[in-house]
Structure 1
Amino acid sequence: MGKPAPSPSPGRFFFPSFGFAPVIRGALLALTVTGAAGCAHHQDTVDTVTDWYHSYQGGVIGQQRPPPPGAHQPYPKIGLGPHTAPELPSPDLREDITADLEAQHELSQRQDAIMGAMPSVADIPPVPGRTGHGAQSASLRAADGAPSGGNATASPATTGSGTRNPPGMTHQAAPVRDSRGQLVMPEVTTTVPDHPEAIPANLPQMADAPPALPAIAGIDLPDNAQRDGMDLPSYNLATPDDGEEIRFLPGSDQIEPGEEDVVNTIVNGRGNRFVIVNGYGNAATATAEGQATALDLALLRTRTLTRLLVARGVPATRIAVRAHAFGNGARLAIVR
């Protein structure tokens, strides 16, 4: 028996032993590399055409885009984030903020409806100018105080020093000067002139005593009606600037962390005396609407502190509350 025929090798099976084997091997290797590159960075038809067009245009748009900031930095650790929910304002304050935003939105809509669309260049009237032959227009004649009829080319008015007023300007008196050309200041006196404009002669006469109480049939006046005033308390109330400062979160009625220690110190040193709670609303404007909004925040801050005091054993009858539109945070003061 003869020797068995050798089995063909894989290379011989796929690549015959003629001159096209190296070419086929190179084509397959190129296809493999291209497929691996396509898996690494996939581009669809639109991206490919866009990149080709940008390369055709050249310049900055043809360059490769820079990576976004932090692309090469390590991914942040989720465990380092906060574990507790942030302190939110109370529901009452959130309702006030929502109502203010709605009022501002409605006000802007009403103003837009009243004012209408913005005027265009075609709607703006032209600037009045001079008519032909040196005559003034009606608006300029009215500004100069010149009569509408008669000679329209009358000479401009002259001042006391002989100088002419420029056209379109109202007539003004010339300043008074002395012989050296210096301006003369008005005379300053220490006495008030006896003119009716300065001292009215019909000033009402001030009474020596308050008027008598009215008498109404069937109604008896109280016992203290004839007295000069009410009996005032014997203690002195603290001013808004007295006491310990309590800091709040910006625009919120929630106190900052650690401020409860200040409340505990006030409660421990109070004894049986009154506690004055002064709340401030951080008003940014002096308008009535701005101060009213600030007072709402100030009252909510005083409510927060009042609840803390009551929770620590301070009777509600021994707490006095005050609200101020201007100021930051709140203050707790003990009546001395």
Structure 2
Amino acid sequence: MILPKFANIKIQFSLKTQNIITITLNTTTTILQSAQKTILEESKSISQLTDYLTVEFAEAVLKIYETKGRLVVTGIGKSAIIAQKIVATLNSTGTPSLFLHASEAVHGDLGMVQPGDIIICISKSGNSPEIKVLVPLLKRHDNILIGMTSDRNSFLGKESHYIMHAHVDKEACPNNLAPTNSTTAQLVLGDALAVALMELRQFKSEDFALYHPGGALGKKLLLRVADMLDTTHTPQVTPEASIKKVIMEISEKRLGVTAVIENEKVIGIITDGDIRRMLNTNDTFTHLTAKDIMTKNPKNISSEILVSEALSILENNSITQLVVIDNDNYKGILHLHDILKEGIV
């Protein structure tokens, strides 16, 4: 058994079994120190990237912004994984992009690269055999090639039209082998690219929501009251309805409220809270009707407003239900619980 050199070891030996029966490694402090060292080394590498930003980065961003073609991002090994993440970020922020695995490219996938496309090729060394084979093929249609590499003087660096200089002095790996600082640098440059393009496109949160309609942000920015309003349960009573009828309507529709309708118009609402207050102040309610206990001029909204706006109205007024009215026509009740179930909050 090989034990970590930094471990404090406690060994108990059993004469009966002649086996080591317990090994206690007091490594918590050292593990935390190792993690802190990695984080600090990577953050230092990232902060130094600003020293390698030149006008060339801006020119490459503008070429991508102005192209009528697509953006193809390629790489191999860990750089390929970073390329996939960059593509995902670009696609979700308004820059149509494709991922091309460098090793698969020479086995048929190169066909996805069309004239007019711009290509970003990611490689730390810029000198791997796959990159040397691939780069001339990527440029065969006079495509613009942007190299993201740590070495400007590498094969990729010299063959690229523009360089995104993802230079790192070393890896956080103790053997200076496993891609750590280098892949983080690539990732950050990819984010810098995506954000710069977003700003050029004036890409707003509403645009982002269009690409994420199923997420919480998409719902918050796109979902309207009409999209979630249950029109099959529209509790309503007449002004002359008995309190018993009111209670039955509230209970049956299970929204904790009923609208009071006169001449097809909402003139008030009655909530379960109104019922409790009525019971506290009256020994009997046989003489009361809906109009006696209703709240007049209730808060109401249009079914066309965003659910997020409706939520703000609910919160600002410390209420849990809103009457939905379109052109004076009663459409139903929006309940806070319905909004919560959608995951918007």
Question: Which protein is richer in helix relative to its size?
Answer: 2
Q: TM-score range by the shorter chain?
A: under 0.3
Q: TM-score, normalised by structure 2?
A: 0.17
Higher strand content, 1 or 2? 2
Of structures 1 and 2, the one scoring higher in RCO (CA 8 A, sep 6+) is: 1
The structure having more radius of gyration, on CA atoms, is 1
Scaled by the length of structure 1, what TM-score is found? 0.17
